[in-house]
A and B are shown apart, each in its own frame.
Chain A
Amino acid sequence: MTLDITGLGAIAAIGTSPEEIHDALCRSRSGLAPLRVFDQSKYRSHLAYEIDDRTEPGRDEPRRATRWLLHAVEQALTDAGLLDTAARYPVLVGTTHREQRSVELWWRGDAPVGFADLHFGTALRERFDVVNTFTFANACAASLYTLGLAADMIDNDMADTVVVAGTDSMTEATFGIFDRVQGGVPSEVRSFARQRHGMMMGEGAVAVVLRRAGHGTPSHARLRGVGMNCDAVHPTVPDAESVVRVVREAHSRAGVHPGDIDLVMLHGTGTVLNDRVEAGMLHEVFAGAKPMLTAIKSMTGHTLGGSGLLSLVMAVLSMRRGTVPPIHGLTDPMEEADGLDLVRDQARPAEVRTAQVDAFGLSGINAVAVLEAAP
């Protein structure tokens, strides 16, 4: 499989375009800030990586995830030169929460919510006149899952061009349950650090335009393959063997060997378990090879459904710019990372030809993508 990535779009706590976000990552600038609207007295943790765009500071508003999705999709279509013909291209959206934050505001009596707000199809249709829209609630592997489905569509002649996207805003329900469950109170996302205390939420949306190779517009990078599977073991504990399997499946579909991979964009949530399992996968799959490793959640927070595709977009920019962002704040890596090439302290100039992107979601759903630099 060889598919062109011809358009990029993104927004997160640290920038409103892919380039801005990559700039911030390379300067090791984190989006962490005190909670902007949640009642701090209700939680042990008082920090998150929010997008600071509310009309009235301190007061939440509905449909922010929808707004960011439209922003990212429009950027990607514009970048690909396809905005005028947007109605033709299916849009596959991956999300963890959908508009559950709007539901929370409705439940409290702060804002109405309608059925059309719960998925993104109506908003996409109003903006882009597109009918083939699909919202997949596939947890934190969602946007790489949608990438895989989009690739399958093109490979099987169901479409020539597909818009792939992800979006999520923070919800109090999820913020609250992680606050309840995590052992410590994390002060920042500390991917692959010895002292790491858990996942912290971020916000963001991301989109790419995926096209059959050589379909007209210049390519930013090429997608080689996407592996997708399910642990089917436990709702919250990742399964090490399954994670190894999905990476090998991605390599096999991409026709690459571990030694071909220059860079791995880690899932790297900074939870004790995820990072341990992911490091175990790296030792097993990459025995003898030594790709560079970075984890953007250390600066964007966990952007949930869109996080995998945001990592992919940052990999594309790392290829184009020859610069890999560091893992923010990583001074003392965990023992399990011994022998791994973690990019830290500052951005590293490097030629990246082939990259792997990891995304592992709740309920044990995994997706891994392999991409290569444009020819």
Chain B
Amino acid sequence: MTGRQVVATGVGLAVDGLRGPADLLTPYQRHPGGFDPDTGLRGKRMRHRDRASRLASLAADAALDDAGLRSAEGAFLGTPTRTATVVSTNLGNLDSVCSFVTTIDEQSALALNSTELPNTSSNVTAGWLAIEHGLRAPNLTLSNGATSGLDALHWARTLIATGRADAAVVTGVEPDNEYVRRLHRDNDERSWPDAAAAVVLESADHAERRGARARLVLGPYQRATSADAALRAVLPAQSAAGQLLAEPALAADRPVLDLASWAGRQSGALGVLQCVAAAAGLDDPEGVAVAVSCQLPDAAVAAMAFHGPAPVRAH
């Protein structure tokens, strides 16, 4: 790839019960004063949007605020034509698909709500994010299974590195609802809470030009047939990872931050949650963190390394 280094300059969350990125570093619990979907997903600007799009919108707002790219009135302060939108989700529109079928079965297609037309297409959330902030550069939705979140970071970086965009808003989202819970139950998976995580990525020179602080630098990314192989491929040669964001089975001899234990092994939001957690946990500018997706039967695994923001290094 060309040498355009890509950094994260803002992170944000909308996760049931969490107050902010730092809460990702401790065992999951619903904190008093944390995000409450029952009240937090309402409001006029949320009208006509599905649950995933509402969650994603809040996480993206927080990341844009963190990056200094949103005015007090909510206006986008970046360059719309040079800002890409990348979303990762697996079950974002499961509720629309299933509820439409129920309406058709119980009544007929004429009973469907016409304003929900965009919801059957899995890119609906990316569409709303782009509309909300006027983002006109390429718009991607990764629905690629358990690796989706890290894949989304990889493709957002690729859009920047290849010059399609200077910046990208990457949002991973999975809603909690009756349809999602039933799919989990039928597949022996545990349910997950409403969760959205967002990261603003920029080329390092773009961030520097506008005086934005880099929170972390995206490092190598690799897909592999096993979590172990993926991890080894991205781990810096000379160092053991400072922070490992993975399932405990991957490293018996060291502590891991296992976000999948509550966010879900099959979550399309997981990789973006891991990136936000890495940004929250990387105190050392020389530090390194590695995120690995979950090892699932017959599915590929992805890993990505994150470096502390200084010094600038090639990878």
Contacts and interface: CB of A to CB of B under 8 A. Distances in A.
Interface of A: 41-44, 95-98, 100, 103-104, 106-108, 112-116, 118-119, 121-122, 125-126, 131-140, 145, 148-149, 152-153, 155-158, 171-181, 228-236, 242, 361-365
B239 interface: no
A291 B178 CA distance: 52
A91 to B, nearest CB: 11
A118 B179 CA distance: 14
A172 B159 CA distance: 34
Contacts of A133: 144, 300
Interface in B183-200: 183, 186-187, 189
Contact of A125 (B133, B158, B298): B298
Contacts of B151: 134
B115 to A, nearest CB: 9
Interface stretch (B12-20, B100-108, B205-213, B307-315): B100-108
B109 A43 contact: yes
A42 B109 contact: yes
B158 A361 contact: no
30 contacts: A43-B108, A96-B123, A100-B122, A115-B299, A118-B90, A119-B143, A131-B223, A135-B143, A137-B122, A137-B143, A138-B123, A139-B121, A139-B127, A145-B138, A158-B1, A171-B120, A172-B101, A173-B120, A176-B104, A177-B116, A229-B139, A230-B130, A230-B137, A230-B138, A232-B136, A235-B128, A362-B121, A363-B121, A363-B128, A365-B139
Contacts of A145: 138, 140
Contacts of B122: 95-98, 100, 137
Contacts of B186: 106, 112-113
A117 B77 CA distance: 40
Contacts of A107: 97-98, 101-102, 179
Given A98-B143, A118-B90, A153-B158, A363 B118 contact: yes
A175 B100 CA distance: 10
Given A152-B158, A235-B127, A364-B127, A180 B105 contact: no
B104 A172 contact: yes
Contacts of A180: 109-112, 114
Contacts of A132: 223
Given A174-B120, A228-B164, A361-B123, A157 B1 contact: yes
Contacts of A179: 109-110
B138 A233 contact: no
Nearest to A152: B162
A148 B139 CA distance: 12
Given A42-B108, A108-B105, A152-B164, A136 B142 contact: yes
Given A122-B299, A228-B164, A230-B130, A173 B97 contact: yes
Contacts of B96: 173
A115 B296 contact: yes
Given A145-B138, A174-B120, A177-B120, A121 B131 contact: no
Nearest to B76: A232
B171 interface: no
Interface string B20-57: 00000000000000000000000000000000000000
Contacts of B276: none
Given A152-B162, A232-B134, A115 B104 contact: no
A235 B133 CA distance: 13
A177 B101 CA distance: 10
Interface in B132-164: 133-146, 151, 155, 158-159, 161-162, 164
B137 to A, nearest CB: 7
Contact of A135 (B101, B105, B142): B142
Given A134-B155, A137-B123, A180-B112, A363 B100 contact: no
A138 B141 CA distance: 6
Contact of B146 (A96, A115, A178, A362): A115
B71 interface: no
Contact of A230 (B136, B146, B297): B136
Nearest to B87: A137
A118 B145 contact: yes
Nearest to A362: B121
A235 B96 CA distance: 16
> Top 6 A-B pairs ranked by shortest CB distance?
A363-B127, A137-B122, A176-B109, A173-B100, A230-B139, A235-B118
Contacts of A149: 140, 155, 158
B261 interface: no
B2 interface: yes
Contacts of A230: 85, 127, 130, 135-139
B130 A177 contact: no
A140 B120 CA distance: 12
Contacts of A42: 104-105, 108-109
Contacts of B251: none
Given A113-B183, A125-B300, 7 more contacts: A100-B97, A115-B90, A121-B300, A145-B140, A180-B114, A362-B121, A363-B118
Contacts of B62: none
Nearest to B189: A115
Contact of A176 (B85, B100, B128, B143): B100
A231 B137 CA distance: 9
Contact of B90 (A119, A138, A174, A364): A119
Contacts of A119: 90, 143-145
A139 to B, nearest CB: 5
B136 A231 contact: yes
